[in-house]
């Protein structure tokens, strides 16, 4: 049973609201003869990737964004892969592109990310854009942290002066999210697998973000009453059920606001990717 004062975030409904707002921008661009162009580079045929890509293509089509998959063989060489990226960088009709993970072992992921044109960086992962983010400068940002910030803002969660604890230090979520929270004047702690006495750290959090990839990692004793809890985890149980990093049933009654899994952060990630693609298309029009 969820506490009387607990708000459960509806990520799907919020994503739909944001997309309806974005639709107006896409329509305005179309009237100028501009269709935002997104390319998704996929290497091989990972089943989970296929699902993620399908979601992105579906959302793009609804909006009027031209999203296409650049499908490459799982045996592609590093040199050939870099040629594909160079072609995308040079193509004036492509506004944004992203490389779908996982990549096969023969591909150097760091080199790939560094080769993406920062002005076409749909994922916000390039070292240049990462640097902009940590300096508090504008530019493309990773979609999942952007989605989390949009949830906090739309649900009017105060950030300035609040204690935020991010569990997980990945380049995709933890690190960029810490920078975004810091840019909004939160007091940020980054916790991880080597953090000593983690529950004592997390109990200090006004805003607690779990991005560890371990089912039910965050238990009720790790959360202070009235906290805001954001669950980034997407884990599959032995029964094939999708579950988050937070023990939702036990934790939710203690919280002021919590995101469920599924229908929490997930839909917002795709929405933010679309928003970034449209922003980059607008910049292209502005530069012409």
Domain ranges of the chain: 36-117, 142-266
Token pair of 20, please? 């309806």
Fold entry, domain 36-117: Rossmann fold (3.40.50)
In this structure, the number of other CB atoms found within 10 A of the CB of residue 49 comes to 16
Known binding-site positions for NADP(+): 168-170, 234
Fold entry, domain 142-266: Rossmann fold (3.40.50)
pLDDT of residue 287: 59
From 42, 120, 121, 123, active-site residue: 123
- Please indicate, yes or no, whether the overall pTM of this predicted structure exceeds 0.85: yes
Low-confidence ranges of the chain (pLDDT < 70): 1-4, 287-288
pLDDT of residue 44: 97
Q: Do the bridges between strand 242-243 and strand 235-236 make them parallel or antiparallel, or are there none, so unpaired?
A: antiparallel
Known binding-site positions: 168-170, 234
The torsion defined by the Cα of 234, 235, 240 and 242, in degrees rounded to 10, comes to -40
From 37, 42, 95, 100, active-site residue: 100
In whole angstroms, give the CA distance from residue 84 to residue 43: 11
192-206 tens-digit pLDDT: 989 999 999 999 999
pLDDT of residue 1: 45
Q: Which residues touch 215 (CB under 8 Å, ≥6 apart)?
A: 233, 235, 237, 243, 244, 245
Is-catalytic flag, 100? yes
Contact criterion met (CB below 8 Å) for 251 and 258: yes
187-243 tens-digit pLDDT: 999 999 899 999 999 999 999 999 999 999 999 999 999 999 999 999 988 898 999
| DSSP bridge pairs for 214 | none
Q: Do the bridges between strand 235-236 and strand 257-258 make them parallel or antiparallel, or are there none, so unpaired?
A: unpaired
Is-catalytic flag, 171? no
Intrachain domains 36-117 and 142-266 with the same fold: yes
pLDDT of residue 190: 98
From 56, 120, 162, 254, active-site residue: 56
Q: Is the dihedral of CA 180, 181, 187, 190 positive or negative?
A: negative
């Amino acid at each position: 049973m969820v506490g009387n004062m607990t708000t459960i975030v509806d990520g799907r409904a919020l994503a739909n609201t944001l997309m309806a707002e974005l639709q107006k921008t896409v329509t305005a661009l179309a009237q100028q003869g501009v269709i935002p162009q997104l390319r998704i580079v996929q290497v091989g045929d990972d089943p989970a990737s296929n699902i993620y890509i399908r979601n992105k293509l579906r959302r793009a089509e609804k909006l009027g964004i031209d999203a296409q998959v650049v499908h490459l063989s799982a045996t592609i060489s590093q040199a050939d892969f870099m040629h594909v990226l160079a072609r995308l960088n040079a193509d004036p009709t492509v506004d944004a592109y992203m490389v779908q993970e996982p990549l096969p072992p023969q591909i150097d992921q760091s080199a790939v990310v560094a080769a993406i044109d920062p002005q076409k960086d749909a994922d916000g992962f390039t070292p240049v854009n990462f640097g902009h983010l940590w300096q508090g400068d504008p530019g493309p940002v990773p979609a999942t942290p952007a989605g989390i910030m949009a949830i906090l803002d739309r649900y009017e969660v105060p950030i300035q002066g609040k204690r935020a604890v991010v569990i997980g230090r990945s380049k995709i979520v933890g690190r960029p999210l810490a920078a975004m929270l810091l840019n909004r004047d939160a007091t940020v702690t980054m916790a991880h697998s080597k953090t000593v006495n983690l529950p004592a750290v997390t109990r200090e959090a006004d805003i607690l973000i779990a991005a560890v990839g371990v089912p039910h990692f965050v238990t009720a004793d790790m959360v202070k009453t009235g906290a805001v809890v954001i669950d980034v985890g997407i884990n599959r149980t032995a029964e094939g059920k999708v579950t988050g990093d937070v023990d939702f049933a036990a934790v939710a009654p203690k919280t002021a606001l919590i995101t469920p899994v599924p229908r929490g952060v997930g839909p917002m990630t795709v929405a933010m990717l679309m928003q970034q693609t449209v922003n980059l298309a607008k910049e292209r029009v502005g530069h012409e």
